[in-house]
Amino acid sequence: MAIGSVAALTAGAAMPVFSYIMGDMIDAFESMDTMVQKSKETMLIFIYVGIGAFAAGWIMYACWMITG
């Protein structure tokens, strides 16, 4: 149950993290040169956070199904 709870907290934290990352990307729109590079970096971060959220959600569901 403890592992499932930690995974649930991690999966739930994904949306605020996405908002923070999106804010960083919007800040990069000040010049065209930095916008393209920052967008590429942000895309990779979005993918990594999405994979982490998926894994945490899967772990959460698996742990709570075992204990429930």
List pLDDT tens digits, range 18-55: 999 998 888 878 878 778 888 888 899 999 999 999 99
Cβ-based neighbour number of residue 56 at 10 Å: 19
pTM of structure: 0.81
CA 57-47-45 angle, to 5 degrees, is: 115
pLDDT at residue 61, as a whole number: 95
pLDDT at residue 5, as a whole number: 94
Mean pLDDT of 1-11: 94
Q: Where are the domains of the chain?
A: 2-67
Q: Quickly state the pLDDT bin for 16 (edges 50, 70, 90).
A: very high
